[in-house]
Structures are given as C-alpha cells and as structure tokens.
Amino acid sequence: MRADRLVALLALLQTRTQMTAAEVAEELEVSERTARRDLEALAMAGIPIYSQQGRNGGWRLLGGGRTDLSGLTSAEARALFLVAGPSSSATPEVRAALRKLVRALPEPFRQDAEAASSAVVVDPVSWGRTTPARPAPAHLDAVQAAVIEGTQVVLGYVARDGAATTRVVHPLGLATKVSTWYLVADTEAGMRTFRVERITSVEPTGEKVVRPEGFDLEEAWRMVTERVGQSWATASAHGYATADMVPVLRMVFGPRLRIGPAAADGRVEIELGGAHLRGLVAEIAGFGGAVEIVEPSDARQLLRAIAEELVSVYAEP
C-alpha cells in the first residue's frame, strides 16, 4: 500500500462516519479492488478499523469515525507506521504528513512509531530473475519487532549451502525486494544481509542494538543491491537509449544499469548487465528502437536475429 494512500484513507475514515470500498475508490481514484485491499491491509496490520456487513454496511474507525490518532495503542502505532514506512514511495508532502501524525501520538509511542516509519525499505526491482509470489516468512513479525524495539537477537539461520548457524546480530532494518524479505543487520563480521525465509529462530537478548554512526537503511540497501547485481551480472552490453526511456530502464534493470553522459543526438550512454548474453539481449529487444546496442558484436547479431524472426512471424501476408 502506498504511503500517500494510507494517509488519505485514514483522513477519510476520520472525517466520515462510514465509507464503502466503492466510495473510497472514488475518492482516492483507484479501483474498488485496490481500495478494498488497502482497507483490509490496514485492518490486518492492527489499525482500529472494521467492516460492517449488510445493506447499510461499510468501513468504520472505532469510535464511529471520531477516533483520534492520539488514541492509538503502541502496537497500533507501530502497525500504522510499518504500513506507511517504505519512504521510497512517499512524496515530500506525505513525509510531512507522517511527521504530523507522529507528533499527534502520545509521547511514549513516538519513538516506536518513528522507528517503524524507517524500519522497512521497499525495492520493486527484481534481481533480474523471475520471482514468484511468496507468503510472509514465519519469523517476519519477530524480526520486525526486534528492528522497531532496537533489541539484539540470537538469530538461527540456514545459508544457501544448507549450513546452519546461530549468532548474535544487531537488527537495523528490513527490505522487501518484490516478494522476498531481507534483514539488514550488524554482526561481529560486519554488516550482513539475511533472507528472512531462511531464519529458523529469533531470540531477543534484552540488549540494545548498537547502530553504526550515520547508518541509513536506504543507502545500505542500495549498496547491497549494487554488490549483488554486479556479482552475478557476468554478461554486459553497451549502447545508447533515448532520454525518456532511462527511467524505465532504471525500473527494469535496477543495479544492472549504468548511465553515462548524453551523446550529441540527445541519447544517453548506457551499460546493461545480465546473467548471460542471450537472456540480456531478450530483455533489451523489448525496448525496440529506443535502445541501440553498440557492443559487443555478439549482442548485435542476436538482436538482428530476433528482429528477423519477429518480422517473419508478424509481417503482413
């Protein structure tokens, strides 16, 4: 759920006695299905809203729509800001609104709410492979609590090679990449990233987390994605793209895209990476003439072959 929709949705529910999903959809200019999903997400996260079935049914805030945000419990405040937390999707106006919401909370809850608002970063770009949808990992709630409360934990973990380990870690934040969750934590060996679905146990030690000076979750995650992207992108192609296509390339290729200077014709120099050349070329082909590959020559030959195959299949009889 986008943070700006969350703020708008809560404001609507506070100012009106009751709203149907259709009315929410009309107000927020989204589909009714999206509105219903957002409402259910808030309810499941622990925000005090509920649905009333029947002819005159709809969604209400507890208290008949007059509930003040300062009446949230500590758990509800954390839930609210976890849903709103992915700051990468929030505009400056939304961030300002969230700061105002924090100030409306009782003093004891503010620290937890502020921690929750920066506990998660959402990364919509895949690693370049198909990532199927997954259910939430078994220990996600426990890890979230450790991040928000700033508590060290003894983490049980199974690595990709099957090796099982147990270690004390300082949980610093969570990242979700498409449908996979990762824990960013400090350890005796330095900063590490743990795939949450491979965590086998989470036991709080009662000791407070020691955050590295100047730590920023979004910056740390950016470094992780760049390192991982570079490690497996063994094939590369160099060329040019139209300026209006660069944002789309960023979204599709993520850390596998390097951007250079603009050429004389206004196009932007680019370098793209992939696990293997044929798969990389197949991705590039979808951009048509908006992307021109200059080298390697093997990539140009593969693109030419794809173009010829498409012409033979789709040419008018």
Report, as ranges of residue numbers, the positions in the chain whose pLDDT lies below 50.
1, 64-68, 70, 86-90, 106, 108-109, 129-130
Helix axes 32-45, 74-84, angle to 10 degrees: 140
The predicted structure's pLDDT at residue 25: 86
pLDDT tens, residue by residue, 138-193: 898 888 888 878 899 999 999 888 999 999 999 998 887 767 889 999 999 888 99
Rounded-to-integer distance, Cα 61 and Cα 307, Å? 56
Q: Look-up: residue for tokens 């506990």?
A: 119
Q: Give the burial string for 167-189 (b: 16+ CB within 10 Å, else e).
A: eebbbbbbbbbbebbbbbbbeee
Radius of gyration of the chain (CA): 23
The predicted structure's pLDDT at residue 42: 72
Q: Look-up: residue for tokens 């959402």?
A: 122
Rounded-to-integer distance, Cα 65 and Cα 62, Å? 6
The helix/strand/coil state of 314 is helix
The predicted structure's pLDDT at residue 1: 47
70, 105 Cβ separation under 8 angstroms: yes
The predicted structure's pLDDT at residue 67: 43
48, 72 Cβ separation under 8 angstroms: yes
pLDDT tens, residue by residue, 80-106: 555 555 444 445 555 555 555 555 554
* Secondary-structure percent of the chain, ordered helix, strand, coil, rounded to 5: 45, 25, 25
Rounded-to-integer distance, Cα 259 and Cα 250, Å? 9
Residue 36 parent element (H or E):
helix 32-45
Q: What single letter denotes the amino acid at residue 204? A: P
The predicted structure's pLDDT at residue 292: 96
The predicted structure's pLDDT at residue 73: 53
Structural domains of the chain, with CATH: 3-118 (1.10.10), 140-215 (2.30.30), 233-314 (3.30.70)
